[in-house]
A and B are shown apart, each in its own frame.
Chain A
Amino acid sequence: MMEGLLNPQTFMVFKVVVVFVAVLTLVALATWAERRGAAFIQDRVGPNRVALFGKIRIFGLGQPLADGLKLFFKEDVLPLNVDRVLYTIAPVISFIPATMTFAAIPFGKPFVKNGIQYFLSILPPDTNIGVLYIFALAGMGVYGIIIGGWASNNKWSILGAMRASAQVISYELAMTLAVVGVVISAGSLRLDRIIEAQNGLWNIVPQFIGAIVFFVSMFAETNRLPFDFAEGESEIIGYHTEYMSMKFSMFFLAEYANMITASGLFVTLYLGGWHFPILDSTVIGSVVAFVIKLLFVLWCFIWVRWTLPRFRYDQLMRLGWKVMLPLSLINLVIVALFYAYGG
């Protein structure tokens, strides 16, 4: 019965639904993993009290559900003198690109059935701009920060928005230049070609510098600790200070969705995508390999957050412009020279 249903249209709908649900479920699981992971690293117990039907505790896995319900039913107050339209739009603007970017990432091996080629990414690979699609949309996310800070009509929110957006813009440059090295080595912007080119040797080995730059920039782009200036929960005030209830949780969901997309992109660009010895001989195995790698990089986000203290703002800017940008340029020149004369 399932065989008869398999045609490009139903497969597309299936992919969109599955990816959307999977990413949002992973967001919920990531919040749980973050708190349990923090507790594990700091030798605490962490949230383990939320129980289903008052009985079944299962390591506090009900916590994200309870958090979601709490945020959903909280009172949504419109602060005085805010710009109503922009204040409401800002969380949406940061949420939409965050959920759209994952569409370009191939999460499994393409397969042929009844003479039709099926590929496991929402965006057709023929669109030919894979990497650029992600960067173009990820660049839109910064408007959520700017508009959110400005519309709140709060001086500290505006300052927080300026700080966060300056950080995102600065690190975008180093990140893009690091990715150009990968694009040169694959000879294509298409993410499926980039994965094919890594068959046998993952990019993280020959382009070690680029991978480090991308990895560090990834944290700055998603506003995660040690570059946590957007939120700055303990001492400085961030751009979403005036937000509450579902509007705040939209920003929150966007941050975690961005983390998942960034992990997926790192896996695709440097860790060989869905390639893995033995596992990638079947389609399901390749999806499993991709998910395992993605979860590992996602865990790195949590691991780093609870290991390193926050940078100071000038240190962040110095690292971005004086260390990361030159490093990515060096990586680019080395790769370009190698492929022009050595390869």
Chain B
Amino acid sequence: MQLAFYILSFIAVFAAVMVVLSDRPIVSGLFLLLCFTAISGLYITLSAPFIAAMQLVVYSGAIIVLFLFVLMLLNQHRESPSKRNRFVTFVSVLGGVLIGVFIYLTMLKSKILLSYTKMSAVGGMKNNVETIAGVMFKKYFIPFELISILLLAAMVAAVFLSKKRV
């Protein structure tokens, strides 16, 4: 399980870096897909198959398809290298590394890093869905419903705004 964690997290980080480094938008989108898929594998090592499946359905399945559709319609094959300013790149990398270090330091103090102790084989995956349902529909019922209404309103607004007036 530890080995699976190291392999999957290496793939995820590598893919995330390649999303930024690749100069073709479609390839960036596909690396993002690889990153999301590796993360769903990480969820499985944490005995959370429901979250893993949802990660695959929602992020890998729906959102990346949407990205790729837009990119394919724009038909932008290659980003021109002249648009890449060296100074901006340097500052961005520095900023990214700093933010990463701060997040790492924060996590060292929190309990999140210890989650690998909860890793277990497939046998430990019982009652996953029931637990999530209990939390969502009993403990946090009202916030959950409010979020659904908010999402619905956003969806209606998006359809309304993008519609052509005849």
Contacts and interface: CB of A to CB of B under 8 A. Distances in A.
Interface stretch (A138-146, A319-327, A329-337): A138-146
A132 B128 CA distance: 13
A158 to B, nearest CB: 6
Contact of A128 (B37, B54, B69, B127): B127
Interface string B119-141: 00011011111000000000000
B57 interface: yes
A58 interface: no
A275 to B, nearest CB: 24
A150 interface: yes
Interface string A123-166: 01011110011011101101100110010000000100110010
Contacts of A201: none
B78 to A, nearest CB: 11
A139 B129 CA distance: 20
A189 B125 CA distance: 13
Contacts of B129: 128-129, 189
Interface string B97-134: 00000000000000000000000001101111100000
Contact of A135 (B57, B72, B127): B57
A136 B64 CA distance: 14
A150 B33 CA distance: 16
Given A135-B57, A136-B57, A137-B56, A129 B65 contact: no
Interface of A, secondary structure class, is: helix
A169 B129 CA distance: 25
Contacts of A82: none
A29 to B, nearest CB: 31
Contact of B122 (A126, A147, A150): A126
Nearest to B123: A126
A135 B128 CA distance: 18
B65 A132 contact: no
Interface string B28-44: 00100100010010000
Size bracket, chain A contacts: 20 to 34
A86 interface: yes
A128 B125 contact: yes
B61 A126 contact: no
Contact of B61 (A86, A128, A133, A140): A140
B135 to A, nearest CB: 16
B53 interface: yes
Contacts of B56: 136-137, 139-140
Interface residues of B, number: 28
Given A140-B61, A150-B26, A169-B65, A133 B53 contact: yes
Given A136-B57, A137-B56, A147 B30 contact: yes
A137 B52 CA distance: 11
A150 B65 contact: no
A126 B82 CA distance: 55
Given A139-B56, A140-B61, A128 B72 contact: no
B11 interface: no
Contacts of A150: 26, 68, 72
A128 B49 contact: yes
Contacts of A142: 61, 65
Nearest to A142: B65
B90 to A, nearest CB: 29
Contacts of A129: 49-50, 53, 128-129
A126 B68 contact: no
24 contacts: A124-B123, A126-B126, A128-B128, A128-B129, A129-B53, A132-B53, A133-B49, A133-B53, A135-B57, A136-B40, A136-B52, A136-B54, A136-B56, A136-B60, A139-B57, A139-B60, A140-B61, A143-B30, A143-B33, A143-B64, A146-B65, A146-B68, A165-B65, A165-B69
Interface of A: 86, 124, 126-129, 132-133, 135-137, 139-140, 142-143, 146-147, 150, 158, 161-162, 165, 169, 189
Given A135-B53, A143-B30, A169-B62, 10 more contacts: A86-B30, A126-B123, A129-B49, A132-B50, A135-B57, A136-B40, A136-B61, A143-B64, A146-B68, A150-B72
* Nearest 10 interchain pairs by C-beta: A139-B61, A136-B56, A132-B53, A136-B53, A129-B49, A136-B57, A129-B53, A128-B128, A127-B125, A127-B49
